Amino acid sequence: ETAQRMGIVLDDTTTVAELAIEWYNNRKAGLSLSRQGDYRNAINLHICPVIGAMRVRDVKPEHCQRVMAQAAELSYSAQQKIVSTLKQLFSCAVDNGLALRSPAEKIKAKGKKAEEKVALTKEQCAQLEVAVFGTRAYIFVMLGLYAGLRREEICGLRWCDIDLQAVPPRLTVNNAMRLVGSKAEFPAPLKSK
């Protein structure tokens, strides 16, 4: 009776996979390529293989927990992307009258914390510099080592980003290059300001 008063159709046959497709297609336009990939991976590799065929109205918190159990070996960051996607999907289901409550509201990411990255030592930097000296990779490696640029930022550099007349000479990172599958996309937005 409460559901009827609220206008929720409890006999809906929409599956989680159908909802995920609709939800993703309606949101992807405003998202970065990286974020789009995060959602696609969460949906295609983790959510739909476990609960995709289920009707949205039949999904219970334990089913969402099963999705997370399948992802138990993933890092905290990877699990957080799955949790975020689950929560947004089922929030959409509630907003659209496909469910009374979200079965994902109490799901949490637990995974392993990422290992701390260890920077190259001065000796390792010197060895790398010697190894690439005289090759096409030399400038690329120097920009990574001594300007701290990411590979996407180095590949996104243009001559107009370099001011050799400034004192001291200046390099500005304005664009990035992203690999989408096997294709390069330029210009691509920077990861951070």
What is the DSSP annotation of 105-170? TT-----BPPPPP-PPPHHHHHHHHHHHTTSTTHHHHHHHHHS---HHHHHT--GGGEESSSSS-E
pTM for this structure? 0.69
Q: Which of 18, 19, 29 is nearest to 92 (CA)?
A: 19
Tell me how far the alpha carbon of residue 63 is from its chain's centroid: 23
Residue 12 has pLDDT above 80, yes or no: no
Phi and psi at 141, nearest 5°, equal -65, -40
Instruction: Give me the pLDDT at residue 13, please.
Output: 86
The set of residues, in sequence order, having a beta carbon less than 8 Å from that of 107 and lying 6+ positions away, is: 61, 64, 65, 68, 83, 86, 87
List C-alpha distances in Å: 62 to 95, 103, 111, 127, 129.
21, 8, 18, 53, 53
Tell me the pLDDT tens digit for each residue of 131-184: 999 999 999 999 999 999 999 999 999 999 999 999 999 999 999 998 877 888
Instruction: Give me the pLDDT at residue 39, please.
Output: 96
Instruction: Give me the pLDDT at residue 157, please.
Output: 94
Instruction: Give me the pLDDT at residue 6, please.
Output: 57
Tell me the pLDDT tens digit for each residue of 42-62: 999 999 999 999 999 999 999
Instruction: Give me the pLDDT at residue 188, please.
Output: 80
Instruction: Give me the pLDDT at residue 111, please.
Output: 77
Instruction: Kindly state the percentage of the chain with pLDDT values over 70.
Output: 94
Q: Residue 61 CB: number of other CB atoms within 10 A? A: 15
Instruction: Give me the pLDDT at residue 5, please.
Output: 60
Q: How far apart are CA 63 and CA 51, in angstroms?
A: 7
Residue 1 has pLDDT above 90, yes or no: no
Beta bridge partners of 75: 112
Task: Extract the tokens encoding 164.
Answer: 């050799």
